[in-house]
Amino acid sequence: MAKFDLVHGAFQGVWVHARVARPLREAGHEVYTPTLTGLEERSHLAHHAINLDTHMQDIVSVFKYEDITDAILYGH
């Protein structure tokens, strides 16, 4: 089975992938839906210095700490 990392867009959250993540998981795939820094349940971390580099590091960290070496990365 495949691994998927579904990344939400600006001013959104993981809820945008709910209808996609559920059937992927039911089909046996591993699905990661990280929340980017400063958004949704991580909104308490919002700061003017957060930018695309911060969000790219969020995704790199998911790969690192979940020990993902091969995945389908989907950006919204």
User: Residue 74 has what pLDDT?
Assistant: 93
> What are the tens digits of pLDDT across the range 6-64?
999 888 888 899 999 999 999 999 999 998 988 777 778 888 999 999 999 999 999 99
pTM of the predicted model, to two decimals? 0.85
The pLDDT assigned to 10 comes to: 82
pLDDT given at position 14: 85
Q: Give 61-76 as a DSSP string.
A: HHHHHTT-SS-EEEE-
Domain of residue 41, residue span = 3-75
Tally of domains within the chain? 1
Q: Which residues contact 17 (CB under 8 A, 6 or more apart)?
A: 6, 8, 33, 76
